[in-house]
Amino acid sequence: MADFRDEYKRKLISTEEAAGLVKSGMWIDYGAICGFPSLIDEKLAERAPELREVKIRAEHSHTRLPGIDPNQEHFIHNSWFLGKVERDYHRLGCCSYIPFGLSEGPRMYREWLKDEVDITFIEVTPMDEEGNFNFGTAITRQKAACDVARTVVVEVNEHQPWVYGGYDEVVNISQVGYIVENYEYRIPEFPAAPITTEDEAIAEYLAEQIEDGATIQLGVGAIPSVVGKLLVKHSIKDLGIHSEMFNDSMMELIEAGVVTGRKKSLNPGKAVHCFAAGSEKLYKFMNRNPVLAGFPVDYTNDPYIIARNEKQIAINSALRVDLRGQVCSESVGLRQISGTGGQLEFTRGAYMSPGGKAFICLHSTREDRNGKLISNIVITLELGDMVTVPASDVSLIVTEYGMVNLKGKSTWQRAKLLISIAHPDFRDELEEAARKANIITRGTAGLHW
């Protein structure tokens, strides 16, 4: 350990010095989600006047950079998946989305971006006795970014939990160029979304579909969180977890004894994930917890690995679904809201799993800026909407009005099924529009099955 401590001291620099490594024109990569380097970001933002065209790649970050640079003279921000801060920057025209499937992250760096990472800044745990820093709540693609970066700078945060992993959950000090210590910022917390009556109704449908011994994936949003809470009440036993995200509701399921992992066909006894987002309590629960296994995202989100879990359940949220079954979960027209993430990968993997099920959930309506009610089940997606899950991959769709299975159904059957779970106020106009578009044809208009 003495050698590692000496090396640690040699590589330890101030945050200002770390920010000073950035030069105009460089490509800079930030750690994902809770691997976000808060203190370095703050100091880099202060250098804006002296920098030009520094290109940043981040994911669900809380960055200050675009906010002080609306004309992108100093920083050009790019995001793999937009969080709230980046969503606002995108609306203002100073953040661009990078389309990709989440499982591609490590390969993306090692093959396509291997010559385009000048510096990577990543938040990590304190070093262990073997000279390793753990990526904690955000294993995702961090090791791959370190492998290709010309310079690796770690921001050490004592609040980052040490998460036991499968592989690529640590970076050794030998691979690290510089070390910064962050005593000012805790890792970001993500409060649970407010729960609505629609969420509760959808969650009830879902809870009824989950059997003892199933393995679950819960996506982002209120609906998956409610499902987690309901599963405690439904007395379901021996669930497992194989998910991209680990959240508070999953922690609660483990604490309640609902999740044991005993029946898992892959990684039995382990709650497999690649990142976490939630409360400080969640992060403390994760620290050196032998129940958890953190893997890089090319493992957790590989559909063929997901499919090795028997009775894999995937629960994800959508913004809109059209009458042919195309799912948009990430944009409103040309305005990017989030990203593709792992929704398509888990939809495919759960469908391929023996006894598995893939659910896409959405509220039947939303209010526009003027308070007008609008249907989220639509005749066709809006111009600019990104298709997150193609119609050919969709099976189970759930709203607060019910659940339908689109697999094996022709477009007229799909339209009728989706109209049946749309808000009642919009069913007649959806059917009329479907007839005009020849989705529901003359011969099928009166058919039932």
Question: pLDDT per residue over 324-347, tens digit each?
Answer: 999 999 999 889 989 899 999 999
Considering 147, 181, 215, which residue would you say is the last residue of a domain?
A: 181
**DSSP H or E stretch at residue 397:** strand 396-399
Residue 404 lies in domain: 197-436
pLDDT for residue 205:
93
Considering 134, 149, 181, which residue would you say is the last residue of a domain?
A: 181
Q: Are residues 201 and 157 located together in one domain of the fold?
A: no
Q: Are residues 176 and 210 located together in one domain of the fold?
A: no
pLDDT for residue 231:
83
29, 116 Cβ separation under 8 angstroms: no
Q: What's the mean pLDDT in 193-212?
A: 89
pLDDT for residue 44:
95
Residue 406: is its pLDDT beyond 90? yes
Residue 2: is its pLDDT beyond 70? no
> Has residue 442 been placed in a domain?
no
Q: Are residues 315 and 389 located together in one domain of the fold?
A: yes
The one-letter amino acid code at 336 reads: Q
What are the pLDDT digits (tens) for 416-442?
999 999 999 999 999 999 999 999 988
Q: Are residues 177 and 201 located together in one domain of the fold?
A: no
Alpha helices by DSSP H, listed for 358-422, are 411-420
CATH number assigned to the domain comprising residue 52: 3.40.1080.10
pLDDT for residue 59:
93
Q: Are residues 15 and 158 located together in one domain of the fold?
A: yes
What are the pLDDT digits (tens) for 149-165?
999 999 999 999 999 99
30, 37 Cβ separation under 8 angstroms: yes
Q: Rounded to whole angstroms, what are the CA distances from 113 to 99, 110, 118?
A: 14, 6, 10
> Has residue 354 been placed in a domain?
yes
Q: How far apart are CA 99 and CA 382, in angstroms?
A: 18
Q: What's the mean pLDDT in 42-65?
A: 93
pLDDT for residue 96:
93
pLDDT for residue 219:
78
Is there a catalytic annotation at residue 400?
no
Residue 1: is its pLDDT beyond 60? no
Q: Are residues 41 and 155 located together in one domain of the fold?
A: yes
Q: Are residues 17 and 130 located together in one domain of the fold?
A: yes
State the number of CA atoms in the 13 A half-sphere of 294 facing the CB: 27
pLDDT classification of 443: cutoffs 50, 70, 90: confident
Q: What's the mean pLDDT in 267-289?
A: 96
DSSP state, residue 259: B
pLDDT for residue 445:
81
Q: Which of 234-238, 312-316, 321-325 has the lowest mean pLDDT?
A: 234-238
> Has residue 403 been placed in a domain?
yes
Residue 284: is its pLDDT beyond 60? yes
347, 354 Cβ separation under 8 angstroms: no
Q: Are residues 173 and 43 located together in one domain of the fold?
A: yes
Cβ neighbours around 184 below 10 Å, total: 10
299, 356 Cβ separation under 8 angstroms: no
Number of folded domains that form the chain: 2
> Has residue 91 been placed in a domain?
yes
Residue 377: is its pLDDT beyond 60? yes
> Has residue 396 been placed in a domain?
yes
214, 312 Cβ separation under 8 angstroms: yes
> Has residue 412 been placed in a domain?
yes
| Residues in a beta bridge with 293 | 272
CATH number assigned to the domain comprising residue 353: 3.40.1080.20
Which of 26-40, 181-195, 209-223 reaches the highest mean pLDDT? Answer: 26-40
pLDDT classification of 259: cutoffs 50, 70, 90: very high
Q: Are residues 21 and 167 located together in one domain of the fold?
A: yes
Please give the mean pLDDT across all residues of the chain: 93
Considering 181, 216, 244, which residue would you say is the last residue of a domain?
A: 181
Q: What's the mean pLDDT in 47-51?
A: 94
Residue 279: is its pLDDT beyond 70? yes
Angle at 434 between CA 429 and CA 436, to 5 degrees: 95
pLDDT classification of 195: cutoffs 50, 70, 90: confident
> Has residue 156 been placed in a domain?
yes
> Has residue 192 been placed in a domain?
no
Give me the percent of the chain exceeding a pLDDT of 70. Answer: 99
Q: Which member of 59, 104, 169, 244 is catalytic?
A: 244
pLDDT for residue 449:
58
Q: Are residues 169 and 206 located together in one domain of the fold?
A: no
Q: Are residues 202 and 125 located together in one domain of the fold?
A: no
pLDDT for residue 70:
80
Q: Are residues 49 and 109 located together in one domain of the fold?
A: yes
